[in-house]
Amino acid sequence: MTLGSTFCAFLRGGFAQKHGMENDSKKPDDKNFLQWAITPPQSYALYLGALILIFVGSFYAGTMKPKNAVGLTPPAAAVPHK
């Protein structure tokens, strides 16, 4: 047995399909995420992340320039009327 065949056998065993994971009855759901999110370290991180997301979104919205619509501007005051 050579080193190459031993290494390939090691890799083949590591990539073998694990059928036990398919029948996992404990699927992640919203309740588990909520329980995870309300514990103190995660809640601080999620709160900070939400604040940063809101700040970045409002900053981005504030830097956008509005489009000037043609024909919707008020008439100039210096235009003579006949």
- Domain ranges for the chain, please list them: 27-64
Question: Tell me, what's the pLDDT at 57?
Answer: 95
> Which of the four pLDDT bands, split at 50, 70 and 90, describes residue 51?
very high
Which three-class secondary structure state does DSSP give residue 19? helix
Alpha helices in the chain (DSSP H): 3-14, 30-37, 40-63
Per DSSP, 67 falls in state: P
Q: What mean pLDDT is predicted for residues 30-52? A: 91
pLDDT reported for residue 67: 75
- In angstroms, the Cα distances linking 54 to 16, 26, 38, 41, 47 are 44, 34, 20, 20, 11
Q: Which of the given ranges, 3-12, 17-26, 45-54, has the highest pLDDT on average?
A: 45-54
